[in-house]
């Protein structure tokens, strides 16, 4: 019997999430694809959805999980672009914490043969968010500075790698400086502590230069430190709120420095963007993952039955990467990499 992780009320994830059996498989529609899911990350958005604090909430009861990867086990009569055994990621922002998912053919993206599924299962959210952040710098000269907090997050590390490939310099702020060697290897030009001393160090490192873009995943005082490093007319893009603290910006910074504040929600980009552009973007990023040029450290992989421990691990600081759920990695067909 296949299983899923579902919830029928909002609240603390450990209290609401339940391991439930999936109903017997139904017959496929002509445009549908059946996928045996292999693995899925635990993202802040997943926890927020269960808590009831995310921007768009599913109808209850719901299966949790915003992204995941697996392999095709069956296709409908009108599906010709996918075949049994293809590795795919879900483009549907829900229901991925399930050992089997059935969805319309357009809701699956085929991965390059031989890709690492544990990395590929994180394709849909973090790398795309980082790519979208960099689009704000189109036309900017090589060597321009980007500053970011939560640089050891999935988005942060993807942004460091992509910015380095694009010729930009990055100043990465983190709460724990033990991340510095890893982030430097990912492409960071400099790594400083996310505190007042770190800000002073950042100013010295940048030597009077200022950043054109700030990527904010934290809010509160951390976001103000990023703003203090921005050039006049520079933009801070907020894509997360890890501190759950509001952003209070001095009026003078807006009036006299003309700083721009904006937000980024990757789910909205998926809803508003032409499908061909989405797939083109995913193809580029999947190619980087396949080559090893884009990779996020994985802290631990938990089985579905160990989901309480997985949730606890994903909610604490000091992790050394992403927490993944094993939805069926051991059941992968021969020849498909784990």
- Residues tagged active-site: 54
Crossing angle between the packed helical segments 154-165 and 126-135, to the nearest 10 degrees: 50
Determine the number of helices (DSSP H) and then strands (DSSP E) in the chain. 12, 16
Is the distance from CB of 302 to CB of 17 less than 8 angstroms? no
**Burial, 149: exposed, middle or buried (Cβ in 10 Å; 0-12, 13-18, 19+)?**
buried
Tell which residue, 244, 283, 251, has the closest CA to residue 111. 283
In the three-class reduction of DSSP (H, G, I as helix; E, B as strand; rest coil), residue 197 is classed as helix
CA dihedral (295, 301, 305, 309) positive or negative: negative
Peptide bond into 44 cis (omega under 30): no
DSSP 217: S
**Residues contacting residue 25 through CB under 8 Å, at least 6 positions apart:** 34, 100, 102
Q: How does DSSP assign 57-114, residue by residue? A: -PPSSEE--S--EEEEEEE-TT--S--TT-EEEE-SSS--SBSEEEEEGGGEEEPPTT
Q: Measured over all CA atoms, what is the biggest interatomic distance in the chain, rounded to whole angstroms?
A: 64
Angle at 264 (CA atoms; ends 262, 269), nearest 5 degrees: 130
- Asked if residues 267 and 244 have their Cβ atoms less than 8 Å apart, the reply is no
User: To which H or E segment does residue 34 belong?
Assistant: strand 32-41
- Tell me the residue length of the chain: 338
């Amino acid at each position: 019997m296949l299983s899923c992780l579902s919830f029928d009320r909002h609240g603390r994830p450990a209290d609401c999430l339940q391991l439930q059996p999936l109903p017997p498989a139904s017959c496929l529609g002509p445009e549908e694809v059946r996928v045996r899911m292999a693995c899925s990350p635990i993202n802040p958005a997943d926890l927020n959805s269960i808590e009831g604090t995310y921007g768009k909430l599913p109808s209850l009861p719901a299966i949790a999980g915003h992204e995941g990867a697996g392999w095709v086990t069956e296709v409908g009569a009108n599906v010709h672009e996918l075949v049994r055994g293809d590795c795919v990621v879900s483009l549907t922002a829900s229901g991925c914490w399930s050992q089997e998912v059935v969805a319309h053919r357009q809701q699956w993206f085929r991965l390059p043969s031989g890709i690492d599924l544990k990395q590929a299962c994180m394709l849909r959210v973090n790398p795309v968010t980082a790519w979208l952040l960099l689009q704000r710098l189109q036309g900017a000269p090589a060597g321009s500075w980007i500053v970011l907090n939560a640089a050891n997050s999935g988005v942060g590390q993807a942004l460091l790698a992509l910015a380095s490939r694009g010729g930009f310099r990055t100043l990465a702020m983190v709460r724990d400086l033990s991340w510095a060697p890893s982030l430097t290897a990912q492409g960071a030009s400099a790594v400083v502590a996310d505190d007042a001393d770190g800000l002073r160090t950042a100013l010295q490192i940048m030597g009077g230069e200022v950043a054109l873009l700030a990527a904010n995943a934290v809010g509160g005082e951390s976001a103000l430190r990023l703003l203090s490093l921005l050039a006049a007319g520079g933009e801070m893009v907020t894509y997360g709120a890890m501190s759950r603290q509001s952003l209070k910006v001095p009026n003078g910074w807006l009036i006299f420095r003309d700083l721009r504040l904006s937000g980024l929600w990757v789910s909205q980009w998926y809803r508003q963007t032409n499908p061909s552009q989405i797939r083109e973007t995913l193809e580029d990023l999947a190619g980087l993952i396949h080559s090893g040029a884009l990779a996020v450290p994985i802290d631990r992989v938990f089985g579905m039955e160990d989901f309480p421990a997985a949730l606890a691990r994903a909610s604490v600081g000091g992790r050394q990467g992403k927490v993944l759920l094993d939805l069926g990695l051991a059941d992968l067909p021969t020849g498909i990499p784990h």
